[in-house]
Structure 1
Amino acid sequence: MIKAGVKFRMWVADWHAMANNKMSGDLEKIKIVGKYFIEVWRASGMDLSKVEFMWASDMAKNSDYWKLVVQVGKSNALKRFIRTAEMMGREESLDKLTGAHIIYSCMQVADIFMLGAKITQLGMDQRKVNMLAREVGPILGFWKPVVVSHHMLMGLSKSANPVLTSEVRQGLAESAIQRTIERKMSKSNPDSAIFMTDTTEDIKRKINKAYSLEGDIKENPILEYFKYIIFESFEKLRISELRIERPEKFGGNISFKTYAELEKTFSEKKVHPMDLKAVLIKYLDQLIEPVRRHFEENAEAKKLLEQVRSFQVTR
């Protein structure tokens, strides 16, 4: 999007994290995590000259912001805001929802217009609040933002819930989306995801124990990492194809130029999960190495990482 000429404003939503009880609602800890995220983006090669970082805690000092939050809250009945609760990563019952969750919804809609965002780029789990913003915008004299909802990577662990195959086959897209949200990575379960500062040994352990059923292309986190990370990073990895090296008795070396080729071959059980895991470990480690090195060599970044690791993560 930056290459296309979009002016990007990165919203560090510390107050929202507090409302959602991240870091047990400790705003100071949340701010440290926010600074850590900025360091990760910097180390990942993001062109920060074209990105403006803005903090919710700064916006919270503006009375016009809270005026808009109230106006958003007045625009719909309570049940409309309750329907957006899954944007915080969960489907909550009325007994578990707090007033902060409702304020969160109003804040996030207000954010879009206070930031002047014509495009919102968020995860699929936040699609409902973005659609609410499209409804509310014209009512309050604003615009309908373009909603870009990106895919959420599966967690590496096997899901405890049954696959919604029958519903998906019937074309119930909402069920498929909800299933994706349920299976997403979780910061509170470190082995369910690869973190940007993981060591080589961390990556090996997590990928080797990750769920990957031979021939399964529907709910396979290993395949997802190839589809959304490795095949999108050929230029950065300086490769033109995915090459898997293996002994002749196991089929010999094999190469793929597209993810579609890999998926088809895997579905035919011509490539074993362990073949994929070995090469995935190699390439993930290469991609993460610059970030890891930044947090080792930059004193400020190193301190932030140490602080974040000392915090107990809450869902």
Structure 2
Amino acid sequence: MDTETKIELMKSFAEEILTEDELRNLFETNDKPLAYDGFEPSGISPIHFGLLRATNLRNMLKAGVKFHLFLADYFGFINNKLGGNLENIQTAGKYFVEVWKACGIDIDKVKIVWASEIMDGLKYWDRVLKVAKEISLERVLRATTIMGRKQGEKLSMGQLFYPPMQVTDIFHLNLDICQLGMDQRRAHILAREVANKLKWKKPIAIHHHILLGLQGLQKKETEEETLMASKMSKSDPKSAIYMHESFWELKNKINTAFCPPKIEEGNPLLEYCKYIIFKNFKEMKIERPAKFGGDIIFGNYEELRTAYVNGDLHPADLKNNVTIYLEKLIKPVREHFERNKKARELYELVKSYKITR
């Protein structure tokens, strides 16, 4: 695969690339660059993990990128996920691996890395201290939004270690590419700045879109606060669609979702079409009664968007058909957890844990 084709694969899901020129040079000089996606294991998988991020990973693997799935168990411990119970957090991590398997990810092509494994040595903590020396306390406090905390929120001393530790992971794993959501941007900016200061390899950052929750856009004073308030959160059942929803649970959630007629901005259902449905299907067929115009096929998101904002597609018809297409994607995952004993046991355990933040 040539360099420009690889670049286009990355741009197909990236909201931001820091920087495209650096990424192009990387592909021209390295056939198998190393990337990662990391997260704190907790709660039940929503569609932005099981569908959106899995689709991004498939594109990276197509481009020849080697990939680490980073299970940030100790970060979840620091951030008080699942009550800070490390054993439960690690069980949740194993459950999330099963979700990606069920989504069709070839886990043999992905290296699973636990934070607790790489932290077990002086070399890691030596790097943490070197990174921390290059970051002001003010920058650390601003960066605490990467763990879902508001600026000014009361934090433990342990949580202040979180940003320099996340930056250190990037260098300790010798990553070429950081592939996470836009909500992790502050950590990657810090990593690039620290790399310049310490003369370490500068990571390229590829940031994907943060999927809106069912409640739609929640405008706040700042762009960052708006992002945090609006995103789909696995800890909030009213905002999230989970990978285990039954058809009727899914239908009920979609039917109550924010979906104003003729409006694209802040409309979560249009987002699900753009970032999930059209990434997994070549076209989207809207089934509707003949008296309302009959069936119509959209070959891409722009066609669908145009019809919707022009009033040629009613919210009820959009909701009905988003439900149908999401069900097609969720059903195989649901069935995997019903058939596979190990997966089912992990799911039942994680479902029993109390969600904390």
TM-score by length of 1: 0.90
In 1, Cα distance between equivalents of 2:196 and 2:338? 48
Shift of 1:92: 2.7
Instruction: Indicate if the aligned counterparts of 2:219 and 2:226 stay in contact, CA closer than 8 A.
Output: no
DSSP-derived class of the 1:225 partner: helix
How does 1:42-81 map onto structure 2 within 5 Å? Answer: 42-81=101-140
| Letter of the structure 2 residue corresponding to residue 194 of structure 1 | I
Q: Please give the per-residue CA displacement for 1:124-175, whole angstroms capped at 9, x wherever unaligned.
A: 111011110000013223111000111010000255x4477xxxxxxxxxx5
Instruction: Indicate if the aligned counterparts of 1:22 and 1:30 stay in contact, CA closer than 8 A.
Output: yes
1:142 paired with 2:189, answer: no
2:13 aligned partner = none
Shift of 1:176: 4.3
1:294 aligned partner = 336
1:211 aligned partner = 258
Over 3 Å counting, the alpha-carbon distance change for 1:58 and 1:205 in structure 2 is same
1:91 paired with 2:164, answer: no
Counterpart among 149, 155, 179 of residue 213 in structure 2: 155
Instruction: Indicate if the aligned counterparts of 1:156 and 1:221 stay in contact, CA closer than 8 A.
Output: yes
Instruction: Indicate if the aligned counterparts of 1:109 and 1:133 stay in contact, CA closer than 8 A.
Output: yes
2:177 aligned partner = 119
Over 3 Å counting, the alpha-carbon distance change for 1:302 and 1:226 in structure 2 is same
Instruction: Indicate if the aligned counterparts of 1:187 and 1:313 stay in contact, CA closer than 8 A.
Output: no
Instruction: Indicate if the aligned counterparts of 1:158 and 1:211 stay in contact, CA closer than 8 A.
Output: yes
In 2, Cα distance between equivalents of 1:101 and 1:92? 13
Q: Please give the per-residue CA displacement for 1:45-95, whole angstroms capped at 9, x wherever unaligned.
A: 1122211000001112122111111111111220011111111123231x5
In 1, Cα distance between equivalents of 2:209 and 2:318? 21
Q: Please give the per-residue CA displacement for 1:15-59, whole angstroms capped at 9, x wherever unaligned.
A: 011111111211111101100000001111112221100000111
Relative contact order, higher structure (CA 8 A, sep 6+): 2
Counterpart among 228, 233, 256 of residue 275 in structure 2: 228
More deviation, 47-56/84-93? 84-93
Counterpart among 226, 232, 238 of residue 179 in structure 1: 226
In structure 2, list runs of 5 or more residues that go unmatched.
1-59
In 1, Cα distance between equivalents of 2:158 and 2:265? 36
Instruction: Indicate if the aligned counterparts of 2:142 and 2:151 stay in contact, CA closer than 8 A.
Output: no
In 2, Cα distance between equivalents of 1:216 and 1:25? 41
DSSP-derived class of the 1:314 partner: coil
In 1, Cα distance between equivalents of 2:96 and 2:79? 18
What is the percent sequence identity of the aligned residues? 46
More deviation, 15-24/105-114? 15-24
In 2, Cα distance between equivalents of 1:141 and 1:36? 38
1:246 paired with 2:293, answer: no
In 2, Cα distance between equivalents of 1:279 and 1:182? 27
Counterpart among 5, 14, 17 of residue 73 in structure 2: 14
DSSP-derived class of the 1:130 partner: helix
| Letter of the structure 2 residue corresponding to residue 306 of structure 1 | E
DSSP-derived class of the 1:52 partner: strand
Shift of 1:178: 4.5
Aligned residues: 298
1:263 aligned partner = 305
1:106 paired with 2:164, answer: yes
In structure 1, list runs of 5 or more residues that go unmatched.
165-174, 235-239
Q: Please give the per-residue CA displacement for 1:210-244, whole angstroms capped at 9, x wherever unaligned.
A: 1111111000000000000000001xxxxx42111
Over 3 Å counting, the alpha-carbon distance change for 1:97 and 1:57 in structure 2 is same
In 1, Cα distance between equivalents of 2:296 and 2:155? 51
In 1, Cα distance between equivalents of 2:150 and 2:181? 15
1:312 aligned partner = 354
2:92 aligned partner = 33
RMSD (Å) for aligned C-alpha atoms? 1.5
DSSP-derived class of the 1:54 partner: strand
| Letter of the structure 1 residue corresponding to residue 149 of structure 2 | R
In 2, Cα distance between equivalents of 1:29 and 1:96? 25
In 2, Cα distance between equivalents of 1:27 and 1:202? 31
TM-score by length of 2: 0.80
Instruction: Indicate if the aligned counterparts of 2:181 and 2:207 stay in contact, CA closer than 8 A.
Output: yes
| Letter of the structure 1 residue corresponding to residue 130 of structure 2 | Q
